[in-house]
Structure 1
Amino acid sequence: MQQTGIVHRVLACLLGGLLAAAAAHARPVPAAGGETPAEQASRLMLWPGRLAPGDTALAGAEHIVERSADPAMPDRYIDRVSHPYLVVYRPARPDGSALLVVPGGGYQRVVLDKEGSALVPDLVTRGGVTLFVLRYRLPAEGHPDPREVPLADAQRAIRLIRAHAAEYGVDPHKVGVMGFSAGGHVAASLATRFDARVYPRVDAADALSARPDLQLLVYPVIDLGPLIAHPGSRQRLLGAHPDPASMRAYSAQNTVTAASPPAFLLHAQDDDVVPVANTLVYAQALLAHGVSTELHVFPQGGHGFGVRGTTGLTVAAWPRLALDWMRWQYATRDTNKQEDSHAP
């Protein structure tokens, strides 16, 4: 009996080791530079020559930091971005739609997983959406014209996605933007200032529209005024002591127009980092300009939940709600176009 028990324990140890090895082999392992080989292979650099017009490289290389001790739940961020780029996540069965994903990080860093790669199971694998996750320049790191560098990267990214649409199986008329937290401010700025001249034309891609077809904002920074702003985002974008005119000009609710794309807005009522009032003032501005808007305010979720921090909460439904809304928007638009084409 004792020998049998020893054999069972040895077999169990061997089996456990084999399973662990198989699991480790199945997980993408970050390569040198902090990205997986697949992510590195899928990079799409934003600018010819890698630097944006008029910019100079920052001192030190781009810096990716892993904050998680669990290899199955990576939590990386990047800063010191001199050479902005997209990482593309492609579905096996693309539905033709694409999202430019702008993660948050308080304009201090760009998070890569919680509001980037973690979206893949819901939006790419099950949803069929092609994701282009943006590593954008940060305004407080020493770039010229720092207030406009995140928007310049977002405009250029939308144009590049459209320029390469056929290569990725994307309909150039189904390219939306999804932004989280400070990335939500970038996305809202793109949705309301898509035609602002924030960089000189560099090639044929810049002749394409930078207007996203849809905007999806998740716990976004919107207002940069003294009452409901996220102080860190405001300081890094506008400086330590911005004047009232600058705070008004860079508060996204003040740049909404009737040409802003349809919006899907999502926030938790108990967010103690970026107050839910940011989303509410933006929704009010969109409605005032007649922009089609879907608004979801959930009672719990806090800030930065992405798709991981929603277990047991009603906010866990948001990826499905977002996908359904996207499909409805495109179906409605296509139907209206068909009806218009048959009108006498």
Structure 2
Amino acid sequence: MTDGVPTSRRALLGGMAAAGLVATMSTNKAVAGPTAITYSGPTIPLWPGKPPGAPANLPVRKVEQRSTDAAFDDRWITGIASPSLEVRRPAYADGSAVILIPGGGYGFLALDNEGEEQARWLTERGVTCFILLYRLPGEGWANRATVPLQDAQRAVRLVRARVGEFGIDPKRVAVLGFSAGGHLAGSLATRFDEVVYTPVDSADQLPAHPDLAGMIYPVVSLSAPFTHAGSRDNLLGKGASEAQRRAGSVETRVNGRTPPVFLTASSDDGLVPIGNSLALYNAMLARQRPAEFHGFDKGGHGFGVRLPDSIPAHVWPDLFHACGKRHGIFMA
């Protein structure tokens, strides 16, 4: 582990910058021994039937267990043919909701580090959580550049369609994304009204606008020199034009309707440079949109909520929750 970051993830994601290997990851390297912890909560399929642009041969779900401790999960998921929302409900709900968007360079999803572990501290504060298992663009789907955004828009609409069931205020729906999941959260915050799929039911008449977007060590630009090349190539495909790269860059999409954004990153992140967060923060300021940015000296990449107390970046969940309270999202 380096700077609180699992070395295996740093190495794999770093390799993605040079080659798109993650999209073909299999379970051959899964650690033998640990058994997955059981998590309770309903699963909400995003789409009735096959998702948009489904290939003739759907990807096959694979789970790689990275943990060697039977009491500790660290699962990476690929082969998502049926994207879903995994619901985690608090004992006492404050009426808010957070859609959690794991990262993984658009080549896998870090389910536990950036999903389940985030849901734990949020549900303890009364937040109803929905972990988004979105499709990976390099797994054969048509219109790959908008595949994750299709799922993200649909997820927000489905949460709003079921607010009565979960006791949620439809005006207090936030998203919280990590790394490439941060790019997806930012894309949703700036492209929520872009038509990227054909409506399938009444839920698609509801807004996909998040009320707050949290972005933790996020990929932001697909065009600037500090981009994470692996995420860019997995999303757009190798050889994408500069116009396509700029169109997929979050900082170029900020407008007068972009919701409040919360950003956290560390200056020693050797994988997704802090320049990504700075680019979006400056774009938000230029458009006079509410933005909060916390840059830390140490933390590296992929730290989730696993940093020790000796590293100041470990406080980011408190800062995010406080930001949400100021914007009327959280109450506890």
Give the shorter-chain TM-score range: 0.7 to 0.9
CA contact (8 A) 1:45 1:85 kept: yes
1:289 paired to 2:287? yes
Equivalent residue number for residue 121 of structure 1: 120
Equivalent residue number for residue 67 of structure 2: 68
Q: Structure 1 segments of 4 or more deviating over 6 A?
A: none
1:43 paired to 2:43? yes
Equivalent residue number for residue 11 of structure 1: none
Equivalent residue number for residue 13 of structure 1: none
Q: Where does 1:252-331 land on structure 2 (aligned, <5 Å)?
A: 252-330=250-328
Q: Which amino acid aligns with 1:47?
A: W
Q: Which amino acid aligns with 1:43?
A: T
1:331 Cα deviation (Å)? 7.1
Structure that is richer in helix per residue: 1
1:148 paired to 2:150? no
Report the number of matched residues: 298
- C-alpha change, 1:326 and 1:57, in structure 2 (3 Å) is farther
RMSD value over aligned CA atoms? 1.8
CA distance in 1, matches of 2:329, 2:63: 39
CA contact (8 A) 2:103 2:110 kept: yes
Q: Which amino acid aligns with 2:298?
A: Q
CA contact (8 A) 1:56 1:82 kept: no
CA contact (8 A) 1:96 1:170 kept: yes
1:96 paired to 2:98? no
1:58 Cα deviation (Å)? 4.2
1:108 paired to 2:110? no
Equivalent residue number for residue 176 of structure 1: 174
CA contact (8 A) 1:268 1:300 kept: yes
CA contact (8 A) 1:118 1:308 kept: no
CA distance in 2, matches of 1:151, 1:168: 24
Matched position secondary structure for 1:55: coil
Q: For the pair shown, which has the larger CA radius of gyration, 1 or 2?
A: 1
**Which 5+ residue runs of structure 2 have no aligned equivalent?**
1-33
**Which 5+ residue runs of structure 1 have no aligned equivalent?**
1-27, 335-344
Larger relative CO (CA 8 A, sep 6+): 1 or 2?
Answer: 2
Q: Deviations over 1:95-144 (max 9, x none)?
A: 1111111110001101100011111332111x111110111001111101
Identical pairs, percent: 45
Q: Deviations over 1:134-165 (max 9, x none)?
A: 11001111101111000000000000000011
1:36 Cα deviation (Å)? 2.9
So what's the TM-score if we normalise by structure 1?
0.83
